């Protein structure tokens, strides 16, 4: 009998005497920590450049403290007003004093102009009422303040204006979400639908989603045969063709869009050819750009590589022998394609459509340039409110709604297709 088999099993130790198990835990912990440290820059990057801005956007869409920071004392006093007739003299006095103070200090973001802009969202045309009244109020040193205000402008005699002011002094407000959904407050403060002639956002959300879905579908139909061809050709040829697919990818977006204008416009290349071969007359030139057709053509071209690449990489991994096997078992070509090949490409289709759809829903430069009157998508409206009208709260509300729509669609997509099927290659 050998010695080792008779002795009781001792815990295994490493050369320096530490139990092996403990040493193992230590080393895996260290490895895990190192891995975590490696991802740390990315995590910080995502938090700083993605999570915080989105959090700010959500916050801004609900929170607007313009009114309460411009007229702080009035903001507190007005809460006791019963919304009938005009606010009491005491409250209006605070309003006038606050305006005078704000005008004197001219503090960034807390000026009369800021308040005027805020109220002008709800009551169009009231902006100049605030700025010009504040200028004239500088001379008013004693009461009665209500009278002084009405002397400056009769419009101050309107309870609707004061109700709107009272609403605006609440820092947390659903107002911007109401605007984003084409709703508004009526004179009594009830929520109603906005005038039909001024409704743009809801229909625009619908249009944007529909257009993105159309573009995704066309991309899929166009990309499928191309990817199949690329995946079956010999490597040398397919590499060459792949460069052709990727070439537009490396060209500036604006250059590509402008090229489409040159090609599609009524005096452009395609129309010239059509007229030359006699298909259409000089008067019958086809309008292919500055409308929805133009948007779809240009965006499909720009987004096509995002569909081809995942499809190609998935198709590349499907062995040709599968189709041969299906045929040998009696399947006709179409049946073999439908039952064998197509299901195998699903992960690529899933990835491609998701990618194209999400990119399409946020596009705005291309539609603006080639879309004509149809080229206004929800992202254009968001950009307009962020850059031009400076109604950041409304822009944020629209952005949040867009984010919510994408998340809901993603959730639906996951239910139907299953996210685990996704393959980007």
Partner 1 sequence: MKIKHFLATSALTAGLALAASAQASEITVVSWGGAYTKSQVEAYHKPWVEKTGNKIVSEDYNGGIAEIKAQVEAGNVTWDIVDVELSDAIRACDEGLLETIDHSILPAGADGTPATEDFLEGTLHDCAVANIAWSSVYVFDKTKFDVGPTTIADLFDLEKFPGKRGFRKNPKVTLEFALMADGVPAADVYEVLATPEGIDRAFAKLDTIKDQVVWWEAGAQPPQLLADGEVAMTTAWNGRVFNAIAGEDKPFEIVWDGQIWDLDLWVLPKGSENKEAALDFLVFSTETEQLANQASYIPYGPARKSSNALVGKYYQKDIDMAPHMPTADANLKNAVQNDFEFWADNSDQLNERFNAWLAN
Question: Applying CB under 8 A, which residues contact partner 1?
Answer: 106-114, 116-117, 120-121, 124-128, 131, 197-200, 203-204, 207, 265-268, 290, 368-369, 372-374, 376, 381, 384, 386-391
- Measured from the CB atom, is 194 or 233 closer to partner 1? 194
- Measured from the CB atom, is 70 or 299 closer to partner 1? 70
- Measured from the CB atom, is 147 or 272 closer to partner 1? 272
- Measured from the CB atom, is 113 or 425 closer to partner 1? 113
> Can you give the three-state secondary structure of the chain, one letter per residue?
CCHHHHCCCCCCECCCCCEHHHHHHHHHHHHHHHHHHHHHHHHHHHHHHHHHHHHHHHHHHHECCHHHHHCHHHHHHHHHCCCCCCCCHHHHHHHHHHHHHHHHHCCCCCCHHHHHHHHHHHCCCCHHHHHHHHHHHCCCCCCCHHHHHHHHCHHHHCHHHHHHHHHHCCCECCHHHHHHCCEEECCCCCEEECCHHHCCHHHHHHHHHHHHHHHHHHHHHHHHHHHHHHHHCCHHHHHHHHHHHHHHHHCCHHHHHHHHHHHHCCCCHHHHHHHHCCCCCHHHCCCCCCCHHHHHHHHHHHHHHHHHHHHHHHHHCCCCHHHHHHHHCCCCHHHHHHHHHHHHHHHHHHHHHHHHHHHHHCCCHHHHHHCHHHCCCHHHHHHHHHHHCCCHHHHHHHHHHHHHHHHHHHHHHHHHCCHHHCCCC
CB of 269 to partner 1, least distance (A): 12
Tokens coding 114: 């800021």
CB of 163 to partner 1, least distance (A): 19
- Measured from the CB atom, is 56 or 203 closer to partner 1? 203
CB of 372 to partner 1, least distance (A): 6
- Measured from the CB atom, is 171 or 374 closer to partner 1? 374
Tokens coding 8: 């009781």
Residue 144: asked if its preceding bond is cis (omega within 30°), the reply is: yes
CB of 124 to partner 1, least distance (A): 4
CB of 63 to partner 1, least distance (A): 16
- Measured from the CB atom, is 46 or 200 closer to partner 1? 200
CB of 272 to partner 1, least distance (A): 11
CB of 106 to partner 1, least distance (A): 4
CB of 141 to partner 1, least distance (A): 22
Report the distance separating Cα 117 and Cα 128, nearest Å. 9
Tokens coding 193: 């639908």
- Measured from the CB atom, is 310 or 395 closer to partner 1? 395
- Measured from the CB atom, is 164 or 353 closer to partner 1? 164
CB of 324 to partner 1, least distance (A): 53
């Amino acid at each position: 009998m050998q010695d080792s088999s008779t002795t009781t099993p001792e815990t295994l130790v490493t050369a320096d005497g530490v139990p092996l198990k403990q040493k193992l835990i230590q080393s895996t912990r260290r490895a895990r920590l190192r891995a975590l440290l490696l991802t740390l820059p990315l995590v910080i990057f995502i938090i700083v450049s993605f999570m915080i801005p989105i959090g700010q956007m959500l916050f801004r869409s609900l929170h607007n403290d313009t009114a309460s920071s411009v007229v702080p004392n009035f903001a507190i006093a007005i809460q006791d007003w019963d919304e009938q007739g005009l606010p009491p003299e005491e409250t209006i006095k605070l309003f006038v004093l606050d305006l005078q103070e704000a005008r004197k200090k001219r503090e960034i973001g807390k000026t009369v102009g800021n308040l005027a802009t805020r109220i002008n969202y709800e009551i169009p045309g009231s902006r100049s009422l605030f700025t010009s009244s504040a200028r004239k109020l500088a001379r008013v040193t004693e009461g009665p303040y209500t009278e002084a205000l009405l002397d400056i402008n009769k419009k101050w005699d309107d309870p609707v204006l004061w109700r709107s002011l009272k609403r605006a002094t609440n820092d947390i407000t659903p107002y911007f979400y109401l605007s984003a959904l084409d709703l508004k407050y009526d004179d009594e403060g009830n929520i109603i639908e906005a005038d039909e002639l001024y409704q743009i956002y809801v229909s625009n959300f619908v249009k944007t989603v529909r257009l993105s879905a159309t573009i995704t579908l066309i991309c899929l139909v166009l990309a499928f045969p191309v990817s199949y061809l690329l995946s079956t050709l010999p490597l040398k040829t397919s590499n060459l063709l792949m460069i052709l697919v990727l070439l537009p990818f490396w060209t500036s977006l604006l250059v590509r869009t402008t090229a489409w204008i040159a090609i599609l416009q009524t005096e452009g290349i395609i129309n010239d050819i059509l007229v030359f071969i006699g298909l259409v007359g000089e008067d019958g030139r086809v309008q292919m750009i500055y409308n929805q057709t133009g948007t779809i053509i240009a965006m499909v071209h720009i987004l096509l590589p995002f569909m081809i690449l995942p499809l190609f990489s998935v198709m590349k991994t499907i062995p040709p022998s599968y189709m041969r096997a299906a045929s040998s078992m009696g399947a006709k070509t179409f049946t073999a394609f439908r039952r064998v090949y197509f299901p195998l490409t699903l992960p690529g289709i899933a990835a491609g459509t998701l990618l194209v759809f999400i990119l399409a829903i946020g596009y705005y430069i291309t539609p603006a340039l080639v879309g004509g009157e149809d080229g206004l998508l929800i992202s254009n409206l968001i950009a307009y409110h962020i850059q031009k009208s400076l109604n950041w709260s409304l822009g944020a509300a629209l952005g949040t709604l867009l984010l919510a729509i994408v998340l809901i669609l993603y959730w639906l997509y996951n239910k139907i297709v299953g996210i685990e099927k996704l393959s980007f290659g």
